[in-house]
């Protein structure tokens, strides 16, 4: 039944008076993919999503859904469906009427509306809830009704605006898996807004990180984590220690990088010689008891045992670093001198 379509943004800008909410954004969502829009509050995620839905029209640029240019098409005439943050369930209609709403306003026969609505309710695990009012459901159940109401239309694109933010942490993890599973099973193209990076990493085919109305980086979850384009992305996705470094001589893919007193060969990723930044994941640092045999020396300021790993704050000549160590058998006591080395992953040069 897959009617999944591509979504294309070409140099789209949206301004509200003097405020530019989205500036010159281009991207492409492949059919059947789930793409996440991730970014801090106010960066323009919701605005982007609402432009796909047709609830806002762009100030400049073009939007395509499938082969069709929908730039100036209102929401009613687009083949998209949206799950709202507040769910926006119609309080005066039963669950079944809510789910069947889109079909019935499209003029489908009553019997078909009822049958398809019931099938979809079953799909989200709510069979038998059809006669209730939304106010008689729990938060998680309301959320699933909202999803059912959107997918029953088999839309070309399914949109989610922070669909889990009204749920508690445990439920959030379960429901996000359900949503992902449903999207893959139905083969729908989906655009998903969140500001929770873990959620984004968990369910996305691709992630678009936005910052200040523009795209900061786009890619598959692994790329974003392991090869962040700039400081912002490195810091926003996962934790990162960012150190000021100097790039020296370049040699093919690699460059010699000066980190304080030490030197290391790293991928230069197209950066030119001169001052640069190094992003180091907390798990990218290896601690040894011998300060001499490592890149830098440091002193343990704080050590917290968290079961699966130990967290350290370590004072070094380049500033305080946040380090996690999965070796819980040998905990470096507070005040002890340690040596810091780099592991194989999680150390990348980034743009400013």
Partner 1 sequence: MSQQRSPLGYWLAIGWAGFLLLPWYVQSGGFFDFAWLLAWADADAAPALAQAVLHGRWWLLPLALPLALPILLLGRRQDTPAAARLLILAGGIGLAWLALQGFAVIHSGWGFDILARTFGPLELSQSGMGAGAALTALALLMFTGLGIAARGAVGGDRFVVGAITLIVALVAVFIFFPVLRILAGALQDSDGSFAPGLFAARFIDPRIWGLGCVLEGSRCGVAWNTLALALFTGLTTTLLGLAFALVATRTAFPAKRALRALTILPIITPPFVISLAIILLFGRSGTVTQFVADLFGVSGGRWIYGFWGVWLAQILSFTPIAFLVLIGVVEGISPSLEEAAQTLRASRWQTFTTVSLPLMRPGLANAFLLGFIESMADFGNPLVLGGNFQVLSTEIFFAIVGAQFDPGRAAMLAMVLLSFTLLAFWAQQRWLGRKLYTTVGGKGDSGLAASLPTGLKWLVLGVTVPWAIFTAIMYAMILFGGFVELWGRNHSFTLRHYEATFGITQGQFGLVWSGTAWNSFWTTLQIAVIAAIPTALIGLITAWLLSRQTFRGKGAFEFGTMLSFAIPGTVIGVAYIMAFNVPPIELTGTGMILIIAFVFRNMPVGVRAGVATLAQLDKSLDEASLTHRASTLQTVRRILLPLMKPALLAALVYSFVSAMTAISAVVFLVSARYELATTYILNRVENGDYGIAIAYSSVLIVVMLIVIGLFQLAIGERRLGRRSAAPAGFTGGVR
CA angle 101, 85, 134 (to 5 degrees): 45
Residue from the set 5, 7, 43, 80 that interacts with partner 1 by CB under 8 A: 80
Does the protein bind ligand ATP through residue 164 (CB under 6 A)?
Answer: no
**Measured distance CA(186)–CA(2) in Å, rounded:** 6
Does the protein bind partner 1 through residue 55 (CB under 8 A)?
Answer: yes
- From Mg ion, ligand ATP, partner 1, none, which one binds at residue 289 (CB under 5 to 8 Å depending on kind)? none
Q: Which is nearer to Mg ion, 46 or 189 (CB)?
A: 46
Q: Tokens 């369930």 sit at which residue?
A: 89
Using CB positions, name the residue nearest to Mg ion.
46
Q: What are phi and psi of 257, to 5 degrees?
A: -120, 130
Exposure string over 215-243, b if 16+ CB within 10 A, otherwise e:
bbbbbebeebbbbbbbbbbbebbbebbeb
Nearest alpha-carbon partner for 346 in 250, 271, 266, 288: 266
Please report how close the Cβ of residue 162 comes to ligand ATP at its closest, in angstroms.
7
Residue from the set 135, 308, 326, 344 that interacts with partner 1 by CB under 8 A: 135
Task: List, in sequence order, every beta strand (DSSP E) within the chain.
Answer: 7-16, 19-29, 34-38, 60-65, 68-69, 80-83, 157-161, 189-194, 206-211, 214-219, 241-251, 254-259, 262-267, 274-280, 285-288, 296-305, 310-316, 319-325, 337-342, 347-350
**Residue 62 Rama label (left phi>0; alpha psi -120 to 50; beta):** beta
Does the protein bind partner 1 through residue 88 (CB under 8 A)?
Answer: yes
Please report how close the Cβ of residue 298 comes to ligand ATP at its closest, in angstroms.
36
- From partner 1, ligand ATP, Mg ion, none, which one binds at residue 47 (CB under 5 to 8 Å depending on kind)? ligand ATP
The interface with ligand ATP within residues 19-38 (CB under 6 A) comprises 19, 21
How far, CA to CA in Å, does 349 sit from each of 165, 197, 287? 34, 21, 21
Tokens of 210: 């936005």
Residue from the set 40, 68, 90, 304 that interacts with partner 1 by CB under 8 A: 90
Q: Which is nearer to ligand ATP, 55 or 286 (CB)?
A: 55
Span interacting with partner 1, options 7-15, 70-78, 278-286, 325-333, rule CB under 8 A: 70-78
Q: Which is nearer to partner 1, 101 or 342 (CB)?
A: 101
Partner residues linked to 279 by β-bridges: 242, 348
Cα atoms in the 13 Å half-sphere on the side-chain side of 215: 19
The interface with partner 1 within residues 110-129 (CB under 8 A) comprises none
How far, CA to CA in Å, does 141 sit from each of 34, 87, 101, 138, 348? 22, 11, 18, 5, 43
Does the protein bind Mg ion through residue 46 (CB under 5 A)?
Answer: yes
Does the protein bind ligand ATP through residue 195 (CB under 6 A)?
Answer: yes
Does the protein bind ligand ATP through residue 44 (CB under 6 A)?
Answer: yes
Does the protein bind partner 1 through residue 46 (CB under 8 A)?
Answer: yes
Nearest alpha-carbon partner for 99 in 72, 121, 77, 127: 121
Does the protein bind partner 1 through residue 74 (CB under 8 A)?
Answer: yes
The interface with partner 1 within residues 146-185 (CB under 8 A) comprises 149-150, 153, 159, 161, 165-166
The interface with partner 1 within residues 282-341 (CB under 8 A) comprises none
Q: What is the DSSP letter of 43?
A: S
- From Mg ion, partner 1, ligand ATP, none, which one binds at residue 43 (CB under 5 to 8 Å depending on kind)? ligand ATP
Residues that bind Mg ion (CB under 5 A): 46
Residues that bind ligand ATP (CB under 6 A): 16, 19, 21, 39, 41-47, 195
Residues that bind partner 1 (CB under 8 A): 46, 50, 53-55, 74-78, 80-82, 84-92, 101-102, 105-106, 134-135, 139, 142, 149-150, 153, 159, 161, 165-166
């Amino acid at each position: 039944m897959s009617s999944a379509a591509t979504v294309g943004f070409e140099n789209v800008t949206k301004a509200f008076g003097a405020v530019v909410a989205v500036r010159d954004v281009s991207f492409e969502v492949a059919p059947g993919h789930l793409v996440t829009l991730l970014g801090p509050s106010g960066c323009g995620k919701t605005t982007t999503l609402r432009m796909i839905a047709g609830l806002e029209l762009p100030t400049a640029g073009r939007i395509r859904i499938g082969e069709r240019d929908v730039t100036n098409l209102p929401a009613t005439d687009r083949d998209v469906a949206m799950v709202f943050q507040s769910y926006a369930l119609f309080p005066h209609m039963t669950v079944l009427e809510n789910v069947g709403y889109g079909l019935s306003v499209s003029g489908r026969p009553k019997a078909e509306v009822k049958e398809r609505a019931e099938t979809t309710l079953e799909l989200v695990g709510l069979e038998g809830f059809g006669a209730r009012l939304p106010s008689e459901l729990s938060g998680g159940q309301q959320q699933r009704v909202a999803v059912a109401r959107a997918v029953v239309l088999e839309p070309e694109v399914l949109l989610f605006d922070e669909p889990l933010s009204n749920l508690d942490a445990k439920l959030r993890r379960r429901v996000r898996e359900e949503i992902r599973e449903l999207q893959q099973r139905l083969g729908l193209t989906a655009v998903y807004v969140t500001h929770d990076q873990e959620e984004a990493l968990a369910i996305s085919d691709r992630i678009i990180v936005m910052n200040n109305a523009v795209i900061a980086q786009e890619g598959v979850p692994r790329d974003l984590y392991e090869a962040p384009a700039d400081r912002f992305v490195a810091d926003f996705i996962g934790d990162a220690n960012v150190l000021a470094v100097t790039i020296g001589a370049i040699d093919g893919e690699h460059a010699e990088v000066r980190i304080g007193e030490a030197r290391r060969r790293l991928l230069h990723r197209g950066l030119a010689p001169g001052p640069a930044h190094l992003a180091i994941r907390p798990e990218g640092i290896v601690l040894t008891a011998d300060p001499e045999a490592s890149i830098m020396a440091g002193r343990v300021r704080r050590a917290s045992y968290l079961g699966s790993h130990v967290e350290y704050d370590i004072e070094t000549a380049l500033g305080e670093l946040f380090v996690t160590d999965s070796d819980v058998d040998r905990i470096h006591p507070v005040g002890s001198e340690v040596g810091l080395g780099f592991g194989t992953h999680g150390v990348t040069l980034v743009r400013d």
